[in-house]
């Protein structure tokens, strides 16, 4: 096979902690050599001038939503994988809120077969685009009255990456049982902490802005009280837990205190909660209707600092596609969620790295190695004899966010119609 030499590319490897300009030689699906200047170039090598480009380990998404099965008008399995690849992701993880939900081995097998079919199509040369690795979260509960647990052991044997649920688990007796039953399976458990009763009909974070904009407020306590209760259960049971969708400054304080006590807790926030706060809601753009809602300015500041310091381990994309008709309604009536695969890296890079608030390594670590560790997976690395799981990114390339430029089928994003800087050139996986 033809080798590829990426010349003078900026190499960002969070595993080794290196950020350097180097030549990188790829061949037969492996990294052959990384050096400041490679002069002994094999024959039949394709040489690519990569000055100004960034080569990082493949991005890893902790949790996102698939339209298929059940909501193919929002997103098909094929478009989901294409959007992820276009955004630089080499591993993605889908939540079990499909229709039917991922609550039995048959659905898991169906999705794995689709993933294998995409890979076989690529290997036959029918589609030259790389296919990200698919991780599947298994449902914790069945959609029945009383919230019964699924057959957790059967789902684990079917190959789910871990266990999550479609909605917050508010019954603490059930949560305790779940932690007890899942402990011997040694699979990640991802829980969204939210008290629906405290949340009420709130559609944005409670505070001065919610009053100013005339929208029902969702108090921070709806999240923090649920996190505090979960931390108490983890302390009692000892079962490792991943806390999803952290969105408030007080939540950061609770998680920091739990980690200081060496409790087995990891946490993530969504990329949108690191870019925008409640002040953005003044546009009433339905794509900013999220769960949890965007935080107040103090929340945004605390979340950014928590990601930099590792209190929040990872940045999740939580890609949530909806059709034009579903989202083109009043803000309070819109279903919560926004797309993100193709937008997250360019916007985070420009907002955090280019401004100097984050180093490139800090951002890449939160999008690549730490999410893999939260999934109990080995992070990719840029070193000889490592498999080529890589993302090549051009921070300076300009492009417009519009229907024809997106691989996802949906366009529910507040950046629709805007010009962005930064685009993924290629992935290897």
Q: Which residues are catalytic?
A: 318
Please give the Cα distance from 180 to 61 (Å, whole number): 27
Contact 307, 269 (CB under 8 A): yes
Distance CA 362, CA 365 (A): 5
> What does the H/E/C string look like for 314-340?
EEECCCCCCCHHHHCCCHHHCCCCCCC
Per-residue model confidence (pLDDT) at position 19: 98
Q: Report the pLDDT value the prediction gives residue 126, as an integer from 0 to 100.
A: 55
Q: What is the pTM of this model?
A: 0.96
pLDDT of residue 312: 98
pLDDT score, position 119? 66
Q: What was the pLDDT predicted at 116?
A: 76
Find the angle CA(295)-CA(338)-CA(118) to the nearest 5 degrees.
140
* Mean pLDDT of successive 10-residue stretches along the chain, which has 429 residues: 92 98 96 94 94 98 96 95 97 96 95 77 64 96 81 97 94 96 96 97 98 98 98 98 98 98 98 98 98 98 98 98 97 98 98 98 98 98 97 98 97 98 97
For 342-392, the three-class secondary structure string (H helix, E strand, C coil) is CCHHHHHHHHHHCCCCCCHHHHHHHHCHHHHHHCCCCCCCCCCCCECCEEE
What CA–CA distances, in Å, run from 206 to 149, 295, 301?
33, 9, 17
**How long, in residues, is the chain?**
429
Region of residue 385 (left: phi > 0; alpha: psi -120 to 50; beta: else) = left
Rounded Cα distance between 204 and 338, Å, is: 15
Quick one: how far is CA 344 from the chain centroid? 9
Of all helices (H) and strands (E), which one includes residue 175?
Answer: helix 172-182
pLDDT at 2: 80
Q: How many angstroms separate the CA atoms of 178 and 239, rounded?
A: 10
Cis upstream peptide for 292 (omega within 30°):
yes
In whole angstroms, what is the distance from residue 243 CA to residue 266 CA?
Answer: 6
Other residues' Cβ atoms within 10 Å of the Cβ of residue 287? 22
Tokens of 235: 């302390």
- DSSP summary character for residue 186: T
Distances (CA, A) of 115 to 74, 109, 374: 18, 10, 22
CA–CA gap between residue 391 and residue 109 (Å, rounded):
28
The conformation of residue 97, written as its DSSP 8-state character, comes to: -
Rounded to an integer, what distance in angstroms lies between the CA atom of residue 295 and that of residue 367? 21
Pick the CATH number of 58-380 from 3.40.50.2000, 3.20.20.140, 1.10.8.870, 3.40.50.720: 3.20.20.140
pLDDT given for residue 264 in this prediction: 98
How many C-beta atoms lie closer than 10 Å to residue 384's C-beta? 13
């Amino acid at each position: 096979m033809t080798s590829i030499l990426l010349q003078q590319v900026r190499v960002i490897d969070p595993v080794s902690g290196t950020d350097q300009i180097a030549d990188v030689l790829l061949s037969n699906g492996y990294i052959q050599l990384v050096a400041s200047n490679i002069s002994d170039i094999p024959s039949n090598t394709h040489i690519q001038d990569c000055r100004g480009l960034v080569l990082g380990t493949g991005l890893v998404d902790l949790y996102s939503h698939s339209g298929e099965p059940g909501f193919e008008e929002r997103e098909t399995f094929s478009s989901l994988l294409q959007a992820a690849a276009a955004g630089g992701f080499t591993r993605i993880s889908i939540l079990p809120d499909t229709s039917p939900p991922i609550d039995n081995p048959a659905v898991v097998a169906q999705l794995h077969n689709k993933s294998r079919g995409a890979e076989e199509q690529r290997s036959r040369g029918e589609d030259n685009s790389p296919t990200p690795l698919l991780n599947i979260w298994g449902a914790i509960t069945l959609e029945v009255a009383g919230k019964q647990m699924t057959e957790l052991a059967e789902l684990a044997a079917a190959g789910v990456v871990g266990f999550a649920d479609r909605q917050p688990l508010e019954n603490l007796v059930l949560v305790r049982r779940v932690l007890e039953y899942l402990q011997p399976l040694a699979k990640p458990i991802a829980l969204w902490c939210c008290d629906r009763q405290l949340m009420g009909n709130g559609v944005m974070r409670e505070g001065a802005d919610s009053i100013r904009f005339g929208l029902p407020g969702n108090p921070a306590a709806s999240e923090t009280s649920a996190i505090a209760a979960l931390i108490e259960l983890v302390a009692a049971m000892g079962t490792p837990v991943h806390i999803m969708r952290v969105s408030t400054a007080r939540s950061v304080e609770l998680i920091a205190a739990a980690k200081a006590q060496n409790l087995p807790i990891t946490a993530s926030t969504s990329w949108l909660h690191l870019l925008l706060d409640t002040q953005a809601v003044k546009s009433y753009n339905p794509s900013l209707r999220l769960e949890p809602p965007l935080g107040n300015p103090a929340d945004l500041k605390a979340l950014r600092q928590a990601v930099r310091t590792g209190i929040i381990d990872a940045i999740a994309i939580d890609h949530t596609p909806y059709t034009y008709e579903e989202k083109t309604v009043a803000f309070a009536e819109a279903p919560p969620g926004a797309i993100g695969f193709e937008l997250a890296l360019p916007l985070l890079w420009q907002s955090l790295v280019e401004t100097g608030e984050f180093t490139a390594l800090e951002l890449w670590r939160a999008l690549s190695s730490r999410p893999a560790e939260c999934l109990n997976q080995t992070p990719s690395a840029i070193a000889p004899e490592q498999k080529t799981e890589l993302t090549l990114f051009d921070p300076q390339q300009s492009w417009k966010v519009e229907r024809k430029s997106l691989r996802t089928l949906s366009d529910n994003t507040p950046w629709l119609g805007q010009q962005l800087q930064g685009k993924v050139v290629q992935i290897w996986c």
